[in-house]
A and B are shown apart, each in its own frame.
Chain A
């Protein structure tokens, strides 16, 4: 079981709520942010998080922008592991960057929630 403090960043309200319920039921403390900007504020001001779940494609600042911002932050913020989830078909270059930068990449698909649970629990 979980017990992690997790920040989920996604511009889709219902998906955020779904992830919050599912991971919350497994004993995690789940906070949500609807934009990169909101997430940055929460990460700076709130108690430290153990894990970030990040959507790649968002209007305004996207997942890549968040990753670049995070790289420039002092530890421990810089070192919080990120699970990326995306509905986008990645180019080989993007794949390479994200493989290096993220704990795991989850493509939104049929077993999305199962995979998310598995990855969060093994993180």
Chain B
């Protein structure tokens, strides 16, 4: 395999020249390797060299390996740099101390060259995935926040024009297009920001006891206009009068997104059934529509953000709604799944919620 990227940089820190020689032998062909034989030298070099990965001997004469590791970790410039401790010590206690100091992994001397190569590859790949994720988050963050204010202005001025009394039909239609598209874009931005905040995990659940029928009622009331537009029949099946413990705002949002999705795929005059059942420690909420159902290829990646099977033909969903639902349920210790109905008519989304929500570790 030919790698066209720039070569990854590895810093070897060891006071024994023989060990440095061995590592150079093993890794020198595939990577840019530099070495340091004291702690001070390593600290100076790690930054300047821009190491992607540091192989760090635990027993250094001036600053010990654990302390060095902590100092690397405290340096924001090395935030993504991977540190593998190398030591002849193989006691569990030593390895645990290494992890506590911020090391990513531990390898015991004498090591097998193949294992070292494999480990280095795994951690370099992990580092690049983390960096890409970070860039993606930053882009999404900047883009969505910077879009909100101009969109407010576009939609606001369009509404202002719409208030004018002397407009022709064609002018009014043009304004309506500006408003519809502006609002659809704003909805995307809002969902993106919401999903990003869920992914970051800076969301605190405020748990309350809820009645399932009341929650469903609230959602159906909110969506009454679109339900009427499609002339849908709605059935709520909750013979046990179930209650659940959840964050009311988040769960209502999630259930509304699933039902909105079901409405979108329902035929005119179709039927929506929302049914609840208790199953061991879990409550299951099924949302069933009688639309066309989903192709197998779509079912697989249904809950991944930004996944659309045909980018040219996707609708208003942007694939974000269901990703939000999945995050909300997982925050509650539950999950969501979807399958086509066995009678080959429409599909059913099942939301799973535990009766106790445990705080994250």
Which residues of A are at the interface with B, using a C-beta cutoff of 8 A?
12, 14-15, 18, 21-22, 57, 87-89, 91-92, 108-110, 112-113
Task: Kindly state whether residue B149 has any CB partner on chain A within 8 Å.
Answer: yes
Chain B residues positioned under 8 Å from A15 (CB to CB): 149, 152-153, 156
- CB-CB contacts of B194-210 with A at 8 A, as 1s and 0s? 00110000101000000
Interchain nearest-CB distance for A8 vs B (Å): 13
Q: B145 near A88 (CB under 8 angstroms)? A: yes
Q: Of B130-138, B185-193, B248-256, which stretch is located at the interface?
A: B185-193
Q: B148 near A109 (CB under 8 angstroms)? A: yes
- CB-CB contacts of B131-160 with A at 8 A, as 1s and 0s? 000000000000001001110110111011
Q: B190 near A110 (CB under 8 angstroms)? A: yes
Interface centre among A18, A57, A91, A108 (most CB of B within 10 A): A108
Q: B160 near A21 (CB under 8 angstroms)? A: yes
21 A-B residue pairings within 8 Å (CB atoms): A12-B150, A12-B153, A18-B156, A18-B160, A22-B160, A87-B145, A87-B149, A87-B152, A88-B145, A89-B197, A91-B202, A92-B204, A108-B149, A109-B148, A109-B152, A109-B190, A112-B152, A112-B156, A113-B152, A113-B155, A113-B159
Instruction: Enumerate the 4 nearest inter-chain pairs by beta-carbon distance, A residue then B residue, closest first.
Output: A87-B148, A18-B156, A14-B153, A113-B156
Residue of A nearest to B155 (CB): A110
Interchain nearest-CB distance for B177 vs A (Å): 16
Q: A110 near B187 (CB under 8 angstroms)? A: yes
Chain B 70-126 interface residues, beta-carbon cutoff 8 Å to A: none
Chain B 156-191 interface residues, beta-carbon cutoff 8 Å to A: 156-157, 159-160, 183, 186-187, 190
Chain A residues positioned under 8 Å from B190 (CB to CB): 109-110
Docked Cα-Cα span, A14 to B152, in Å, equals 10
Docked Cα-Cα span, A122 to B157, in Å, equals 23
Which residues of B are at the interface with A, using a C-beta cutoff of 8 A?
145, 148-150, 152-153, 155-157, 159-160, 183, 186-187, 190, 193, 196-197, 202, 204
Interchain nearest-CB distance for B112 vs A (Å): 47
Interchain nearest-CB distance for B249 vs A (Å): 13
Chain A residues positioned under 8 Å from B145 (CB to CB): 57, 87-89
Helix, strand, loop or mixed for chain B's interface?
A: helix
Residue of B nearest to A88 (CB): B145
Docked Cα-Cα span, A57 to B183, in Å, equals 22
Given contacts A18-B157, A22-B160, A89-B193, contact A110 B149 (CB under 8 A): no
Chain A residues positioned under 8 Å from B159 (CB to CB): 113
Residue of B nearest to A113 (CB): B156
Docked Cα-Cα span, A26 to B218, in Å, equals 33
Interchain nearest-CB distance for A60 vs B (Å): 17
Docked Cα-Cα span, A112 to B197, in Å, equals 21
Residue of B nearest to A112 (CB): B152
Interchain nearest-CB distance for B201 vs A (Å): 12
Docked Cα-Cα span, A18 to B163, in Å, equals 13
Interchain nearest-CB distance for B357 vs A (Å): 18
Chain A residues positioned under 8 Å from B186 (CB to CB): 109-110
Chain A residues positioned under 8 Å from B157 (CB to CB): 14, 18
Residue of A nearest to B151 (CB): A108
Interchain nearest-CB distance for B285 vs A (Å): 27
Q: B187 near A108 (CB under 8 angstroms)? A: no
Given contacts A108-B148, A109-B186, A110-B183, contact A18 B204 (CB under 8 A): no
Residue of A nearest to B187 (CB): A110
Contact residue among A18, A89, A91 (Cβ-Cβ distance under 8 Å from B153): A18
Chain A residues positioned under 8 Å from B156 (CB to CB): 15, 18, 22, 112-113
Docked Cα-Cα span, A104 to B195, in Å, equals 24
Chain A residues positioned under 8 Å from B202 (CB to CB): 91-92
Chain B residues positioned under 8 Å from A18 (CB to CB): 152-153, 156-157, 160
Docked Cα-Cα span, A118 to B336, in Å, equals 38
